[in-house]
Amino acid sequence: MNAVAKTAALPTHATADAAAPTGAGTQAPGRDPSPGLVDPATFRAVLGRFVTGVTVVTTRGPDGTVAGVTASSFNAVSMDPPLILWSLALKAPSLSVFRAARYFAVNILADDQGDVAMQFARPSENKFASLPIEVGIGGVPLIAGALAHLECEVDNRHPGGDHEIMIGRLLRTHAAEREPLVYHRGKFGQFIPA
């Protein structure tokens, strides 16, 4: 039984929190006692507690325009066939280039590439300026020195609130023996094994 089915099987008066109580008659510290829609600032603050890797997703449009964005919204979807997903804000200036492109690449950044992440996170006429670039499938730019590259063909796109979810079929990968750049609570850092 999958997690959705388990959640659906709870009695109508129960919640997921009821399955793991914090104590008889107590409210968890910091928890709003009245459930409802969560405001975007609170949602962002809570998500900030989740440590993620840092990627730059790059593409080349049919007219040769290159685009790239820093993204932490990246995940595996399927092993067979190999599918990944990432999402891009509907207000992103590069959305039209990504929508028109057949291929894209996820560049997983290494621990010394925080400046690269910032370069692609800020608005700029040429985000690729002064960066060593390799050429991937379909002419998609790959960031040299990245921890890994996942080269994909667009498999599907889906609406997702104020983002567009892009699913890619993995065509080729490359990984180096380096340490990852991580992101937590608005700051870049390094992975330190426990």
Each residue of 64-96: pLDDT tens digit?
999 999 998 899 999 999 999 999 999 999 999
What residues contact 108, with CB distance under 8 A and at least 6 apart?
53, 54, 55, 146, 147, 148, 149, 150, 180
Report pLDDT for 42.
Answer: 81
For residue 142, give the amino acid letter. Answer: L
Domain range list for the chain = 53-178
Q: Name which residue leads in pLDDT, 17 or 46.
A: 46
What superfamily would CATH give domain 53-178? Electron Transport, Fmn-binding Protein; Chain A (2.30.110.10)
Closest by Cα among 76, 30, 50 to 173: 76
Sign of CA dihedral 138, 140, 142, 147: negative
Q: What is the Cα–Cα distance from 30 to 177, expressed in whole angstroms?
A: 40
Question: pLDDT digits over 89-129, tens only?
Answer: 999 999 999 999 999 999 999 999 999 999 999 988 899 99
C-beta neighbour count of 150 within 10 angstroms: 26
pLDDT-derived band at 7, boundaries 50, 70, 90: very low
How far apart (Å, rounded) are the C-alpha atoms in residues 43 and 52?
16
